[in-house]
Structures are given as structure tokens and as C-alpha cells.
């Protein structure tokens, strides 16, 4: 399996028609421990209008699951993951935006995602553990952003698909939440 490049997409349902639960993982590997403690992943459940319906549609370390248990956040060594139970994703949700961001840093320690040497996104079948998709090293495309929508898991014509995005935000998670209309 060759790494999926930024901007590419793949049909998960076609590759695995029995897929029930997908793990979307962002791995950043070994980094400075001070930097590792502020890197975080979030998932935003987004409707057809391009907006989240409520603050409950943001899944991250302070809100571990979405309504109906459709998505759950988990920490892991050198990264984080969101487990998505596909049948529990409400029909009103068109996609899940996967976000990598810098949570908080003292002003004396400016960091951006460009400080990462590695950022790999993987999609696995949670029931078997088999990896279905692996991205290229997305860290090579980061610059001054403090948050990035690295990927999307989305429904199209009854099929679950996955797309690498890599859209950066200098305004950090705040900028992402504003774009998706997540109430604060």
C-alpha cells in the first residue's frame, strides 16, 4: 500500500464492505516532550451546510465522545485517534473533519506545526486492526499554521470515503471552530 498524498481520497466502503468501525489516527511520533504535551487531535461532526450542529459535535480530550457514541477520542503513544462507529453517525452529519492543533503554549515558546518532523494519518478497521489507508508525511507541508484539518471521513451516496486535506490555520483551533460554526 503506497502512502496516500495530500488531496487524494479513497473509498473505504469499496475496500472493506463490512467496515463498521473505523479508527482515524494522527501519529506525530517522538517530539520534544514539552511540545508533545500541547499537540492534540479533534474531530468535528459537520452537516451538509458545512457547520457543526452544536458544541457536542466537537470530540477531543475534554469531550471524549459525540452524541450517540458515534465518535470517541483516545490518546495513544506518539499521537491520538478518533474511533468512528459508522452506523451511529447521524444522517444529518455529512463528514467528520479531523484536526491536528497546538492546544496552548506560553508566548515565550512559539511553536507551529512546522516544528513537527512527522505527521502521518492512518485509517484502520477497528474490528481487525488492519490498516486501510496511510498518508504521506503531512508534516513536510506544514508552515506557520497552529492547526490543520488533516483529513475528512465522509459519506457520499451511501459510501464512506476518506480524504487527506492539509488545510492550515494560523489562528489555531479557534479559526477551525469559527469556520465550522462550533459554538463556544
Domains delineated in the chain: 9-179 (2.60.60.30)
DSSP assignment string, the chain: -PPBPTT-EEEHHHH-TT--EEEEEEE--S--HHHHTTEEEEEEEEETTSS-SSGGGEEBTTB-B-GGG-EEEEEETTEEEEEEEGGGS-TTEEEEEEEEEE----TTS---GGG-S--EEEEEETTT--EEEEB--GGGG--S-SEEEEEEEEEETTEEEEEEEEEEETTHHHHHHHHTT---
Q: What is the pLDDT of residue 107?
A: 58
Q: Give the per-residue pLDDT at 156.
A: 92
Q: What is the pTM of this model?
A: 0.94
Average pLDDT, 10 consecutive residues per value, the chain (184 residues): 90 93 93 78 96 95 93 92 97 96 71 91 95 95 94 94 95 93 84
Amino acid at each position: 500500500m503506497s502512502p496516500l498524498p495530500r488531496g487524494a481520497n479513497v473509498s473505504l466502503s469499496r475496500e472493506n464492505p463490512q467496515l463498521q468501525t473505523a479508527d482515524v489516527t494522527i501519529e506525530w511520533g517522538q517530539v520534544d516532550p514539552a511540545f508533545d504535551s500541547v499537540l492534540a487531535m479533534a474531530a468535528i461532526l459537520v452537516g451538509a451546510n458545512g457547520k457543526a450542529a452544536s458544541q457536542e459535535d466537537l470530540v477531543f480530550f475534554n469531550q471524549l465522545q459525540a452524541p450517540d457514541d458515534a465518535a470517541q477520542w483516545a490518546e495513544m503513544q506518539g499521537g491520538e485517534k478518533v474511533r468512528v462507529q459508522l452506523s451511529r453517525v447521524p444522517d444529518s452529519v455529512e463528514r467528520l473533519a479531523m484536526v491536528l492543533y497546538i492546544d496552548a503554549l506560553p508566548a515565550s515558546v512559539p511553536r507551529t506545526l512546522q516544528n513537527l518532523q512527522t505527521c502521518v494519518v492512518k485509517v484502520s478497521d477497528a474490528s481487525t486492526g488492519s490498516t486501510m489507508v496511510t498518508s504521506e508525511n503531512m508534516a513536510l507541508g506544514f508552515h506557520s499554521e497552529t492547526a490543520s484539518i488533516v483529513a475528512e471521513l465522509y459519506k457520499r451516496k451511501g459510501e464512506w470515503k476518506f480524504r487527506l486535506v492539509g488545510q492550515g490555520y494560523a489562528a489555531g483551533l479557534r479559526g477551525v471552530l469559527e469556520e465550522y460554526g462550533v459554538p463556544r
